[in-house]
Every structure is written in structure tokens, then in C-alpha cells.
């Protein structure tokens, strides 16, 4: 088994665990965002939030709330802004 096979296996295990405990996952992601934001002095808050959202979406995409869905559709949103 190659390295990528092992990484994929771990990613699937993380997704499974996140699906079972979505509230705990979101709490940990939020805590990580807060710590990173604090250590960077708030200079990269929007990028940090976006990265946290992407991690949450990767681990438990079915857990997105209606408010998050609406926010993702707003013009200028990182998810809808053509780059």
C-alpha cells in the first residue's frame, strides 16, 4: 500500500468520524480558526474562515446549514467569486 492509499484511508476515517460527531468537529474547527486568527493578528481572518469552512465541508458536507448555503451564493463570496 502506497503513501497516497494510506492518506486516502485516513481521510475516509476522518470523514466517518466527523459524520458521527458533527458538532464536535465544528467546535474544534472553530477553535483552530480562533487560535490561528489570534496568532496572525487578525490579518488573514477571511482566509482562515474560508479554510475552516472548506475543512468542515470536506469532513461533513451534509452538515452545512441553510444560512451557510445562502451566504455561499452571495456575490463576492469566495465560493461564487470568479477568480
Which tens digit of pLDDT belongs to each residue from 41-79? 999 999 999 999 888 888 777 666 554 665 666 566 555
Determine, yes or no, domain membership for 81. no
- Percent of the chain, pLDDT > 90? 34
Asked if the structure places residue 80 within a domain, the reply is no
Look at residue 81 and give its three-state secondary structure.
coil
Look at residue 21 and tell me if it is in a domain. yes
Model confidence band, residue 83 (pLDDT cutoffs 50, 70, 90)? very low
pLDDT of 1? 67
Q: Is 73 exposed, middle or buried (0-12, 13-18, 19+ CB in 10 A)?
A: exposed
Whether residue 18 is contained in a domain is answered as yes
Q: Which domain covers residue 15, as residue numbers?
A: 3-73
pTM: 0.59
Residue 81 in this model has a pLDDT that exceeds 60: no
25 in a structural domain: yes
CB neighbour list of residue 33: distance below 8 Å, 6 or more residues apart: 48, 49, 51, 52
53 occurs within a structural domain: yes
Count of domains forming the chain: 1
Average pLDDT rounded to a whole number, residues 5-32: 87
In a domain, 50, yes or no: yes
79 in a structural domain: no
Amino acid at each position: 500500500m502506497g503513501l497516497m492509499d494510506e492518506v486516502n484511508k485516513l481521510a475516509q476515517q476522518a470523514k466517518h468520524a466527523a459524520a458521527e460527531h458533527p458538532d464536535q468537529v465544528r467546535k474544534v474547527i472553530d477553535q483552530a480558526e480562533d487560535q490561528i486568527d489570534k496568532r496572525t493578528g487578525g490579518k488573514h481572518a477571511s482566509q482562515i474562515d474560508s479554510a475552516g469552512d472548506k475543512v468542515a465541508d470536506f469532513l461533513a458536507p451534509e452538515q452545512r446549514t441553510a444560512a451557510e448555503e445562502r451566504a455561499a451564493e452571495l456575490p463576492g463570496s469566495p465560493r461564487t467569486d470568479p477568480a
